[in-house]
């Protein structure tokens, strides 16, 4: 096999692309071998045939040196993500250095400080677990619950990538917390940083071949792309070997170097010294189930079955991603697009080939453009597919036809298919605390339940016996964890990122602001005459990075200044349409001035069963803006009913107490009663 340390330029391809940005090219072999796949580790005598294609040193031409970001230098000098974090952890300082702050992300943690405090900074750390498919054992859940009280801020947060986040951990407690998680069937390795993040899959514990395969595939991909150099265990458990078994097909796929994907003799055969240019996200699902927002991921994998329901292979999407920068048009959210189909036995090799293509060609000079979506946008899907096929060693088969996607929340009671039940619980913004946290722990501990975290920040109790259904429902409802029919439909699909006070990137509120914003939206619904059962998908983030995936929402609010949001419209309730920017810098107190005319216009002009997102796309933004600018309020028709509203305090208190049991405001419940009264009279049922 011939060897070259040069890199082929892609300038010709870039001239034809819409995005005229330079790309970083790692060092790699000039040709890709077409050898038959070797699924076993190569003997040492054979390793000399393959070139170590390192990206730890940038390509140098005769006249220029390719620029690298500061983070790339930190990674190169870190001894595989150890130094200087290992030394910083031994000091008495409450914080760590700039380099260590970047490295600790690979270990699953972010350094934070309370941005609302004035004077000296109070540093703490957020710890994020890694839970493929959102699976959480009974032992791990109870451990995380304890850690939140002992070392955190007393709450657990369920994330949009099916993991826990533990906030407020002090540096002096990091090793204790990390070690405890590791020794209780958990991990935080790779939950953050420039590598594959947590792999999503439908959280529903359905005993069906396609769901079981999707979940197993997610776990296998997570294992395949997990770091191998031991840095995580060296720092947090002093190098203790944590026993874990991997399926042989995972080990074989990782070690295979038939097509020049690996760094031979490297502690990190797939990642090398530099890991990936930026974070990398993967989701696996089954046809119709878009609980995972499949099109927002770098790689989306879909199980394909035959008519008998027997899994045959996988469709693969590539190039999704949410992050962007305000008013920098060369940054953008992007939907993944079809790459092709692979047979069932090839999925790990195909995924590895895609990851290696991004590793070798993704930009390492400017982190704003380092995600794989920008590589595909500049190359085009045909060139990208061609390069991936060289690392894969095969041609992709044509993408199989899929049915229409649906969003599935899996809230409420469902049969698993094995005689047991599962119970999906809605958790506002994924934040578990207070009485809810205490009661949830009691139930999980009493019935020895395993749980699953959903990509919509909710939680599922699994393997529930039928005889436990009533006592569990009653106990949880008393703590505010209500059955879905008692939850406002707006809340069911709403999501927000944590934002203030701890996220260093937040521009304005998200998690703390969304409860009041949703109540204001509901009040606007009532004012313009929309039914209580109607809803729109609302997602709010404190900055344009898009952690709660607002660019897929029917109504996305993205932090755009103090108490200001950029408004995005045009996503849909199936999460298959990309929203577009509608207005910039809308002040929080002015939201009704924009939303009221939009919702009234939707009610008056929509087609049969047309969703708000589809309506905004059909009408066009110019027309919508004109309607907002000319808005003078809804036309109020004279009342045809003589309703007596009792406003004495005793009646109000009774109404308020009943409303709280249904997770509503007294106003919402009163409006519902009035609507029911009016409907009854219209149907001739009134007195």
Report, as an integer, the average pLDDT of 482-490. 93
Binned at pLDDT 50, 70 and 90, residue 687 comes out as very low
pLDDT at 264: 95
Q: What's the rounded Cα separation, in Å, for the pair 410 and 536?
A: 18
- pLDDT of residue 78 exceeding 60, the answer is yes
For residue range 231-248, what is the model confidence (pLDDT) as tens digits?
999 999 999 977 678 999
The pLDDT tens digits of the residues spanning 143-196 come to 999 999 999 999 999 999 999 999 999 999 999 999 999 999 999 999 999 999
- Residues 208-226, mean pLDDT to the nearest whole number: 98
Distance CA 362, CA 197 (A): 17
Percent of the chain's residues with pLDDT above 70: 84
In angstroms, the CA 496 to CA 427 distance is 12
Structure confidence at residue 657 as a pLDDT band (50, 70, 90): confident
Q: What mean pLDDT comes out for the span 457-482?
A: 96
Place 59 in a pLDDT band, splitting at 50, 70 and 90.
very low
Task: Dihedral sign for Cα 404, 133, 536, 490, please.
Answer: positive
> Average pLDDT for residues 666-671, to the nearest whole number?
71
33-37, 368-372, 448-452: range with lowest mean pLDDT: 33-37
pLDDT digits (tens, 9 = 90+) for 594-636: 999 999 999 999 999 999 999 999 999 999 999 999 999 887 6
Kindly tell me if the per-residue pLDDT of 500 is higher than 60.
yes
Q: Is the pLDDT of residue 64 over 50?
A: no
Encode burial over 77-104: b for 16+ CB neighbours within 10 A, e otherwise.
ebebbbbbbbebbeeeeebbbebbbbbb
pLDDT band at 36 (very low <50, low <70, confident <90, very high): very low
CB 239 within 8 A of CB 230: yes
> From the CB of residue 265, how many other CB atoms can be counted at a distance below 10 Å?
11
- The model's pTM is 0.85
Closest CA to 402 of 237, 288, 259, 293: 288
Total count of residues recorded for the chain: 687
Predicted confidence (pLDDT) per residue in 343-361, tens digit:
999 999 999 999 999 999 9
**pLDDT value for 153:** 97
For the chain, give the mean pLDDT: 88
128-to-94, 137, 495, 638 alpha-carbon distances in Å: 19, 16, 18, 55
> In this predicted structure, what is the pLDDT of residue 675?
63
Cα–Cα distance for residue pair 559/229, rounded to 1 Å: 38
């Amino acid at each position: 096999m011939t060897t070259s340390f040069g890199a082929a330029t892609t300038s010709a391809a870039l001239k034809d692309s819409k995005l005229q940005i330079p790309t970083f090219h790692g060092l790699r072999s000039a040709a890709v071998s077409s050898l038959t796949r070797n699924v076993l580790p190569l003997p040492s005598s054979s390793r000399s045939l393959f070139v170590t294609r390192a990206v730890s040193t940038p390509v140098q031409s005769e006249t220029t040196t390719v620029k690298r970001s500061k983070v790339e230098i930190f990674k190169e000098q870190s001894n595989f993500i150890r130094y200087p974090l290992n030394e910083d952890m031994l000091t008495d300082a409450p914080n760590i250095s700039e380099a260590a702050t970047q490295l600790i992300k690979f270990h699953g943690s972010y350094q934070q400080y309370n941005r609302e405090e004035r004077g000296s900074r109070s540093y703490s750390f957020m710890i994020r677990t890694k839970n493929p498919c959102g699976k959480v054992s009974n032992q791990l859940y109870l451990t995380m619950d304890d850690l939140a009280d002992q070392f955190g801020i007393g709450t657990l947060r369920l994330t949009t990538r099916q993991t826990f986040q533990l906030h407020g951990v002090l540096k002096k407690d990091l090793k204790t917390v990390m070690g405890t998680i590791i020794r209780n069937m958990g991990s935080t390795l790779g939950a953050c940083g420039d590598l594959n993040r947590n792999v999503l899959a439908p959280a529903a514990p359905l005993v069906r071949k396609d769901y079981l395969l999707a979940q197993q595939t997610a776990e296998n991909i997570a294992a395949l792309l997990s770091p191998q150099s031991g840095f995580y265990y060296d720092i947090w458990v002093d190098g203790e070997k944590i026993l874990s078994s991997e399926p042989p097909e995972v080990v074989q796929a990782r070690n295979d170097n038939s097509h020049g994907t690996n760094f031979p003799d490297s502690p990190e055969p797939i990642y090398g010294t530099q890991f990936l240019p930026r974070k990398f996200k993967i989701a696996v699902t089954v046809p119709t189930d878009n609980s995972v927002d499949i099109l927002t991921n770098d790689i989306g994998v879909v199980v394909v079955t035959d008519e008998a329901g027997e899994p045959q292979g996988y469709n693969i999407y590539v190039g999704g991603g949410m992050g962007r920068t305000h008013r920098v048009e060369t940054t953008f959210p992007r939907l993944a697009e079809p790459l092709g189909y692979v047979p069932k036995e090839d999925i790990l090799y195909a995924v590895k080939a895609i990851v290696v293509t991004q590793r070798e060609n993704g930009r390492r000079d400017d982190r704003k453009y380092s995600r794989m979506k920008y590589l595909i946008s500049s190359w085009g899907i045909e060139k990208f597919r061609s390069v991936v096929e060289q690392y894969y060693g095969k041609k992709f088969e044509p993408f199989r036809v899929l049915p229409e996607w649906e969003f599935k929340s899996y809230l409420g009671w469902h049969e698993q298919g094995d005689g047991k039940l599962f119970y999906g619980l809605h958790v506002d913004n994924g934040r578990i605390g207070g009485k809810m946290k205490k009661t949830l722990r009691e139930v999980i501990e009493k019935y020895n339940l395993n749980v699953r975290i959903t990509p919509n920040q909710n939680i599922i109790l699994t393997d529930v016996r039928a005889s436990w259904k009533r006592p569990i429902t009653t106990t949880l409802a008393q703590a505010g964890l209500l059955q879905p029919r008692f939850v406002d439909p707006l809340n069911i699909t709403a999501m927000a990122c944590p934002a203030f006070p701890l996220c260093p990137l937040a521009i304005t509120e998200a998690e703390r602001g969304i409860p009041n914003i949703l109540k204001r939206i509901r009040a606007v619904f009532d004012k313009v005459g929309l039914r209580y059962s109607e809803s729109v998908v609302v997602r709010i983030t404190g900055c344009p990075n898009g952690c709660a995936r607002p660019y897929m929402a029917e109504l996305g609010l993205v932090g755009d200044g103090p108490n200001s949001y950029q408004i995005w419209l045009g996503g849909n309730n199936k999460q298959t349409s990309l929203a577009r920017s509608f207005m910039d810098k809308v002040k929080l107190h002015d939201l009704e001035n924009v939303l009221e005319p939009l919702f009234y216009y939707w009610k008056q002009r929509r087609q049969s069963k047309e969703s708000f997102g589809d309506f905004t796309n059909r009408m066009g933004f110019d027309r919508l803006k004109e309607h907002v600018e000319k808005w003078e309020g809804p036309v109020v028709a004279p009342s045809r009913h003589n309703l007596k509203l009792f406003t004495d305090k005793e009646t109000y208190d009774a109404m308020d107490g009943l409303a709280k049991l249904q997770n509503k405001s007294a106003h919402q419940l009163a409006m519902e009663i009035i609507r029911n009264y009016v409907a009854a009279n219209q149907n001739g049922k009134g007195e």
